[in-house]
Structures are given as C-alpha cells and as structure tokens.
Chains A and B, each alone.
Chain A
Amino acid sequence: MIAIIDYGMGNLRSVEKGFLKAGIDARVVTMPREINNADAIVLPGVGAFRDCIANLGKMNLIETIINSIKKGKPYLGICLGLQILFSESEEFGIQKGMNLLKGKVVRFRSSLKVPHMGWNTVKLVKKPPVFNGIDDNSYFYFVHSFYVKPDDEEIVSGTTDYGINFTSMVWKDNIIATQFHPEKSQQTGLKILKNFGEFVKKA
C-alpha cells in the first residue's frame, strides 16, 4: 500500500483518485504508524513551505518520514513534497527543511509572472523509472513561486525553462520528487503515478 500523507496542505483527492485510476492501492494517511506500515510514501502539497514544515511537525511526522526515506522506502514528493527535502528555503526569511538533500529553495527573480502557473515541458537529464513510456520534453502542470537549487548536480533528473532553467525533478536512489503536479497533468501525469506504483512493487 502507498501512503499519501495528509497534513492539511491542499488537494489530496486528485492524488488519491489518480492512483486509483491507475489501479494502484494508495490511501490517505495521517499517522506515523500508517507511514511505517506502508510500502511507499507520497508527499503532495501546495502552499507555503513554512506551513508545510509546521503542520508535519505538529503531527509528529517529520522524523517518521526522514527515517522511512533513509531506510530506503520509495518516496514520491510533489511540489512542496520536493521542496521540503532540501536544507532550507528563503520563503519568509530562512526556513529549515528536512535536509535529506543539500541545497536551497529560492524564489523566481525574473521579470516573468510569478507564480509560474500552467503547462510547461520537462527536459530529461537523467530518466527516472517513473518516466517509463513518457517522452522527453512532455508537458506537465506547474503552480509554484519557489524552485529548488540542489548543491549536488547528480540528483537533477529534469529541468524546465521559465526565464531560467530550473530543476523540476530530482532522483536519488529511492527518492523521486517533482515540482510539477502529476495528478493534474492528465494522461501523462497519471502515467507517472502508475509508474511509481510499478517502481514500488519492484523495490
């Protein structure tokens, strides 16, 4: 079973329905015990980094998530679920993240509209298993004002052009995380969820 973590940050229904549609057993969970019992973790979420960390902290989930990832449990991070893996974010001053990946979360500083909202392409740098059967430069749905800057170039799996080329996907061992929203990216997005389910079965 895949655990979709509900910590009060946004629309989880689409993620759950997306897995269901792809024939993958996934459930929305809120307790550390449920995360420990799961085969894999999905952390979705939109909104503020600060609230995200605060909510996870209040629910005593941070340590459980970090330990699960360190033990090798497959992890799919979506949007905020990507950003909070990093050391810190410059949102509202400096906010500490989970520090599982070294690097910063910074705001777009271009003359383009922020949030970066809509469909944009992902250029593959290193094709992760969740991209099986998905073309390079496919379109995905984005909505965010901050992006990640990993210290380690090796973990960059995909990039997207929005004034600058920013990291829109990372992959390191059991961690796959996307800045875009597979659950909002029609058939291509559902394919990612389905592929993650397959990846979990093999793990």
Chain B
Amino acid sequence: MLAKRIIPCLDVKDGRVVKGISFINLRDAGDPVENAKFYDQQGADELVFLDITASHEKRKIILDVVARTAEDVFMPLTVGGGIKTLEDIRDLLNAGCDKVSINTTAVKDPYFIRKAAERFGSQCIVVAIDAKRIDANIINASAEPWFDQPELKEVCLDISGLKFPIQDWNRNGIWAISTHGGRQMKLIDAVKWAIKMEELGAGEIMLTSMDKDGTKDGYDIELTRIISESTTIPVIASGGAGNLEHLYEAFAFGKADAALAASIFHYREYTIEEAKKFLRNKGIPVRL
C-alpha cells in the first residue's frame, strides 16, 4: 500500500536555513545540507528546499546547495522559489533535484506549466498554491492579463455576487490565490486553479493555507480536502502544523497524500519517526 508521506521543508536564504513565522521574523538555523542529512537519517520521505533568496545575484547559491545535498542524500528533493524560466528548472534538475515547485510564475503565465511539463515531464512539476480565504480586501485584488483568454477565464474568481461587508469572512468556503508570501491577493479561485493546473500538466500540488501558515493551530482541512477531491494528482498539505494530531487530520480528514511541516521538525519538537509512529497507531499507512 502506498504510504502517506511526511515532508520536512527547509526555508533557505542565501544558502542558509531559516524559518519564519508567516514568512516574517526569520531565524537562522544552520546549513541546509546538514539538515537534509539529519532528516534523511530520521526517515523523512522527501525533502523540500524553499529558496527565499531575494537578490538575483545570489540565486545560484541554491544550485550548489542542491548539488552538495545530492552527494549524500538519496531521497526525492524538491526545490521551490524564484523559478522563472525553463532554464531555471533545467539547472536545478541537473544539479540533482527531482522536482521543482512553481507558484508566482504559474500565476503570471499559466501556460508556463504546460511548457515545463512537456519539456521535463509532469512528474517533476509541482505547482505551489498559496491559498487564502477571501476577506474584504479581495475587492483590492488584482486581475491577471490572461483573464480574458477563453481557456483560462473559468479560474477567475467572481466576486460580483458578494455583498459587502460580509460577516464571518474567515468561515466562508472561498479561497483566492495569493502570491509574494501572502502579500498579494489575486482574483483567482484556488479550487478552480488547482483543476486548471492539473489540466495543464502539473504532477503534484503543494497546497499552503496562508491563513494557517505560521499559526501552528493545524492545517486548513476544509481547503485541503476540497482541493484533493477536485483533482486526481497528489496533494501535499502545508501551513499550520503545530503537533502530530494536525498531521493525522491532514491525512484522515483533509485527504492529503503528503504533509509538509517545517518548525515542528526543525526545532526538534518531534522527530520524523515519532510522527510516523503516532500516525501508524492511528491507522494511517506510513513507511517506518
């Protein structure tokens, strides 16, 4: 039986591991390669490097980090952050990573996903979706230049029927796409976007709830479940893991195929093995 995957995520800036709370207040916590080896020994199922390096000149550092990791770590490695061109993908794959995760570039140009999947295969193209329940700020969200294209129009979030102000914003079941670490909202329906990304060739979805990210009070289960049930590709739940029960909820109720977590593993609150034993005792198939 296919095991549910536990994936530690390392935020990497200028070649160093950092972990922020909702992408702010970063704390330096070491060498990515050493961390990767540590998680490899613990039996992590995959590893994600999220490159949050801002300056363009320093972008090449991640290639060196990937190459050094691939020397010693023999498990699937995904790199996300700042991927803009097919050459960026090629360079990362050649350095030794297996999958790339793409967010902003897909929002700017959805057909980039098709081009990437055709060139490198769907199995290595992960679309990262940062979703946020809409609130009153949605009226300031920007439309994309491709919104008038017939093939893409359906992903557009129609807010014309909504009455403002709406009470109870954080309980509604409508999620929009956000980019730039949650700072920008887009008029894109997250569920329809996920379906479209699969159609264009994405092989997996890395789904982060921007409402939950950094809160440690659990994944957005409703969001995870609706996206997982609306698509036929694997979905990685992300954002909000604060304890092992949260991982269980992501699989049992969110129907996720994998769960991504950063701080609970990074600050050694739990080991991967503890997490897997906990899940196995609750009937979730894991690799131990």
Contacts and interface: CB of A to CB of B under 8 A. Distances in A.
Interface of A: 10-11, 13-14, 17-18, 21, 46-48, 112-121, 139, 141-145, 161-162, 183-187, 189-190
Size class of the contact patch on chain B: 20 to 34
Given A11-B93, A13-B96, A14-B70, A114 B1 contact: no
B94 interface: yes
Contacts of A14: 70, 74, 96, 98
B1 A161 contact: yes
Interface of B: 1-5, 40, 43, 45, 67, 70-72, 74-76, 93-98, 120-124, 203-204, 232-234, 257-258, 287
A122 to B, nearest CB: 12
B96 A184 contact: no
12 contacts: A46-B124, A118-B3, A119-B5, A120-B3, A139-B3, A141-B75, A142-B2, A144-B123, A145-B122, A162-B2, A183-B74, A184-B74
Contacts of B1: 120-121, 161
Contacts of B287: 119, 139
Nearest to A188: B74
Given A11-B98, A139-B287, 20 more contacts: A10-B93, A14-B74, A18-B74, A46-B123, A46-B124, A47-B120, A114-B232, A117-B123, A117-B204, A117-B257, A118-B3, A118-B4, A119-B2, A119-B3, A143-B98, A144-B123, A145-B123, A184-B76, A186-B74, A186-B75
Main secondary structure on A side of the interface with B:
mixed
A113 B123 contact: no
A79 to B, nearest CB: 9
Q: Which of A21, A117, A141 has its CB near the most chain B CB atoms (within 10 A)?
A: A117
Contacts of B258: 118
